[in-house]
Amino acid sequence: MTPLRALAALFAALLPLAAHAQDTLDALHAAVTSPTRTPTLAARDAARHPFEELSFFGVKPDSTVVEIWPGSGYWTEILAPYLHDHGTYYVAMGTPDGTPVEREYVGFPAAEQARFDADPARYGRIRRTVLAQGHDEIAPPGSVDVVLTFRNFHNWLTQGDAPEMLAAIRRALKPGGILGIEDHRSHPATPQDPIFRDGYVRQDLAIGMVEKAGFTFVGSSEIDANPRDTTYWPKGVWTLPPTYALGDKDRAKYQAIGEADNFVLKFRKN
């Protein structure tokens, strides 16, 4: 085969791959920009960058995904429709007989759950499991492509059970499966609070702990970085939006700062 023909053959082989990659991006963009999303949740996209973050983690329409403690349903409104036709989507909830934090994540807010129940074409294939102390099977072992946890890692550190949670995640993932972690990033010059009362976590500490649990660090993204967040606040990270723990006191100040500075970390199961 001549070099020209070899190049043409290579180009022809790559075309379907490029088309598939574009289809994946188009489907994710459609899920993120869907008019069916709750406006108050979609308004946070400027701070949370869902399209960029899910792309970074490599979530595809046919992926098997577990989201840990989905809270308000922000990510569920995107992931459930995105994975509905070709993928599998688990939400690993807390438990009513667990720790105080685990009890907070037993289910979605009532209004959000009602929306999901009323729209089975988008949300009818959500699978519920549990992740809590002593409840470690978030999906069948070795069945999951991607596990995602958004702003929960600090809770496990506070509870002292991060190794157990990471072991459960590792057990569920396929060999080479991906763990994506987003959380509030401590200022690098700040000594780490050993009980993480302010909700912030040192990025180097998080990477080291996850690596110790049997994962390889793939890389980080600065898509959720916020240099206005000094991390020194009266009520910790909850001083900032969307929580506004101080109520109306200095609200305009904290609104101008925006949501916390967050690290976005990608790991692969060894």
Rg (the chain; Cα; Å): 20
- Write the DSSP string, 213-243: TTEEEEEEE-TT--TT--S--TTGGGGSTTT
Q: Which of 179, 125, 136, 129 lies closest to 161, judged by CA?
A: 136
| pLDDT tens-digit map of 192-203 | 877 788 999 999
Q: What is the pLDDT of residue 1?
A: 64
Q: What is the pLDDT of residue 118?
A: 97
Q: What is the mean pLDDT of the chain?
A: 94
| pLDDT tens-digit map of 23-73 | 889 999 999 999 999 999 999 999 999 999 999 999 999 999 999 999 999
Q: Using alpha carbons only, what angle is made at residue 258 by residues 255 and 259, rounded to the nearest 5 degrees?
A: 130
Q: What is the pLDDT of residue 239?
A: 98
| pLDDT tens-digit map of 91-119 | 999 999 999 999 999 999 999 999 999 99
Continuous segment of H or E residues that includes residue 3: helix 3-32
Q: Which of 171, 119, 123 lies closest to 144, judged by CA?
A: 171
pLDDT band at 188 (very low <50, low <70, confident <90, very high): confident
Q: What is the pLDDT of residue 5?
A: 77
Q: What is the pLDDT of residue 15?
A: 66
pLDDT band at 266 (very low <50, low <70, confident <90, very high): very high
Helix, coil or strand: residue 266: strand
Q: What is the pLDDT of residue 89?
A: 98
List, in sequence order, every residue forming a beta bridge with 263; answer none if it has no partner. Answer: 183
Higher pLDDT, 22 or 234: 234
Residue 130 scores a pLDDT above 90: yes
Q: Which of 132, 134, 117, 49 lies closest to 80, judged by CA?
A: 117
- Write the DSSP string, 36-68: TS-HHHHTTHHHH-HHHHHHHHT--TT-EEEEE
Q: Cα 174 vs. chain centroid, distance in angstroms?
A: 18
Q: Which of 93, 108, 91 lies closest to 41, judged by CA?
A: 108
Amino acid at 141: P
Q: Which domains does the chain have, with CATH numbers?
A: 3-269 (3.40.50.150)
Q: Which of 84, 166, 183, 169 lies closest to 124, judged by CA?
A: 84
In order of 226, 231, 247, the CA distances from 235 in angstroms are: 18, 10, 11
Report if pTM > 0.75.
yes
pLDDT band at 17 (very low <50, low <70, confident <90, very high): low
**Residue 94, Cβ density class (10 Å: 0-12 exposed, 13-18 middle, ≥19 buried):** buried
Q: What is the pLDDT of residue 107?
A: 97
